[in-house]
Structure 1
Amino acid sequence: MPSKKRATPISLQPLDGMQIKKEDYKLVYVGKLSGNMSLDDIFERFNIDRPEDFRGHSLSVSDIIVLNDGEKVTAHFVDSISFEQLDSFLNLEEQVLSELAYEVGERYFAIQRTEEGYDYSFYDEDFRLMDGGVYENDQISIEEAAEELLEDEGWTGERIRGDYDQLMEKVEEMDEVVMAEIQKSQGEYKPLAKVEELEEANYNMIDNVLNNMPPKKEPYLEYFATECDEFHDMGAYEKSTDVNQIAAVYEKYRENPKTAYLGCSMGIIYRDPEDSYYDEAEFAIVKGNTVFGNLMDDVRFYGELALVREGIEKIHEALPDYKYVPMRDVREAMYPEKMTTEQLAEALDEIAEAFDPYEYRDNVERGENTVQEVMLDLRSGNIHSYISYLKDIVDEECDLSVRAGVLIERLKAYEPELLKDMEPMVYVNYCEESDLMNPRCQKLSELDAKTAEMDKEWYAKRDPKTEEPTKIAKIYVTVYYAEKGEQMLHHFKKSMDIGNGHGGIVSQLKYDNEMKLTDEYWINYQKGKGSEEFQKYMEDLTDMQNHVLPYLQSFCNLEEKGVKERREQQIAERYEGRADERVTSTEANEVVKDVGKTDRKPAQQKQAVDGKDKKLSIHERLEINKRIIQEKQGKDKTERGVDLGVRTV
């Protein structure tokens, strides 16, 4: 852009005494300045925070910096303490451009200065003229004129500066071909003999042009290895078109302890005999034990060349034991940008098996069950554990490290998607009855029906003498559910016994929750953990009782009457057992206190007897116990507790 200053560091070649000549320097970098950067800022940038695409040595004494703000071009010599402006270095009168050429996409643009202003032309990919004219404004620079013309034409893609004379040569060649076609078309109306004569003349002309044209020299790559990456002259340096030869040289440099401190590297040199502007561009690709293909991400023109990409792959093949970081688009193509839950689960399962197949086979069940478990895990928000596992793969610096890194990015961007009206699911972690583990991932309603039927059948076959079940199967499950409108699954783990008469999954959960709500020993144990933790614990139990379990029950069959009555009876008996223990303990203490006393209080004895005769129902006991617990926690007040809808699952 003409309005932006451009900084051009130029490296010094061997000097002729102390005379500074332009021909002793070569161009090593061109870039745009941001803001009001000074020469000191440029010096600091190219020594401390060098651009990623800069391949030269640090800016130092005797280098030249050229500044171009679109109106004025100045050259500055880097001295030991300051910068000296060199007015004669560039021969500034030569800096006024009279012609320019650009490649935009696969099309071309040419412009040259005339007396009226600027003559410009647009060409297609075959160098055929598309449009052109004269831009009558000689008050602006040729760069500004080109900028306006390209924008007006809508050519907003990347612009690559080209050689004007070479472009004109190719345009002339195409003009000759077009002229031959015109002559041929005009000859169609001549007599037959004349047509044949013209055709032969045209063919002879085309053959003459083709035969006398020098063969085009195609671009190619050279590979280099150097003992010192920053200053090649400080160590050995070799280059060749044989990548395997240079790879062997590079490994020899790495193994040499005398020069290891210099920092060796290996890379590519882009050679294009037909284009001096891009010829001999050098890029370090290998440093240490890593092939950094991603270094070409910031060098867009070269990075998009198939020749350069092929060269990077050849280096990777020549150094198969080295860590490999491919270019960005190669990495991104490994997995879709937005992955579904199923795609992520399958990818995680695949990379786990490939990373350590022996451990995978020993600890993971292959197939759909594992994928389903991972899907439920992801939908529950359990992403951190998978990211941690993938980071371990990245740290191993193996062939799968790049894939693991891409998967980490996909997991970070993942947002769980839940099916509309999704039913609660159960994953069977383990069960002594194998029939209940096939499949492991099931709808809660289906597994609840299976376990209820199995429990009923086994409980009916209990021992008639002891009333104890003759067969019980332990089952460990993880229940996943999401209430309406939620974007993430909740989950909890439970273990239960099938065959003891407590019914299916939901009935077992109810029994377990009610026991914890009414068992004073268990409640006192939880109180010992502290008031805050106890309050949180009781809120969770209350929420499970009042909200979660009714919600889960709505997807399952109604409880059988016998199961519900047995549960209530067992809870009542357990409650009475605790009460009897308290009464017995109290009476024993009274006996110790009143040893030697014979008088008793009939009224108290009668009250105790009356208390035993009056038997409360299980529902009354549950309500009384809950009310006592809530009063202790202050939850009888409307501004606290479950009355405000406090829920934690």
Structure 2
Amino acid sequence: MKPALHQFALYQLKDLPENRLIRFRPYETLQKQNIQVRCENYEQKYIGQMGESDTPASIRKRFDEHPPRTFGGHSISVSDVLVLNHQGEVTSYYVEKDGFVVIAGFIRTGSSSALISFDTTDFHIEGKEGSWLAYDSIRIDGREFFLMEHTVYGAEAANVVLDEQGKLIVDDVFHGFDETVKAQIKAYLSPPGNTLPPERKEKPPLENWQKAYENGEYLRSAEITEEQNYNMIDGRMNNLPPKPRKIGKRISVLDRLHLKQAEIAEKTGRAAPQMAAEEDLERRRK
């Protein structure tokens, strides 16, 4: 699972003559003058991590009390913009004297292939009557989605949510980008069953002697009883010679014993250690 992303960025107006009319102006004043808050008029002064419970107010307070050493702008003031990214959901806040105003369309993808932008005013949706305009927008997981309003019926009709390509993502929207709509967008971005199963790591092939150690203490002990030498312990109890070996001038007594045990085991279907244990148990009963 990927770690949750909690990040914020602070934007302040560029030091240009054309920005003098909007610098330190309340958002309501800009609205009355039909001035849009556009990212191209700003420059990013700081970007950093934030806590999951951080809000624009807590970030502003932290900057006022303990500004970061790498921060090169002025104190957070009216007309600044704070952009918060909570797990891929991006929201832009225009800084007011007391509080913040959520603004749409500040951060955009800038894709040249996008059909929808925040300036779209006469868009026709397949299966819908009339034309639609972009009323609000939101960025989730790097994708921008637009809340579309009917140009004739306005608030009297349900809104819809489209992606940048004009694809219908959420229909019958009545309360903007509320939690239900956000959940539907996230479900669209991460459909169920789209995750790959974890890769299975195949064990490397084992040598016979390694298999013997993997078999456990009991099987190793049984093999030690059956095999001729310790160097024959390989996980297979099949190393008996075809006939007793001759060591010097004498025939190996152990070979004769093991061959006899193997012969009896083959006839009875019981291994030599098992036979010995049963015989010992029988003697104790007597």
Would you call these one fold, judging by a TM-score over 0.5?
Answer: no
Quick check: which has more Rg, 1 or 2? Answer: 1
More strand by share: 2
TM-score, length-scaled by structure 1: 0.15
More helix by share: 1
TM-score, length-scaled by structure 2: 0.32
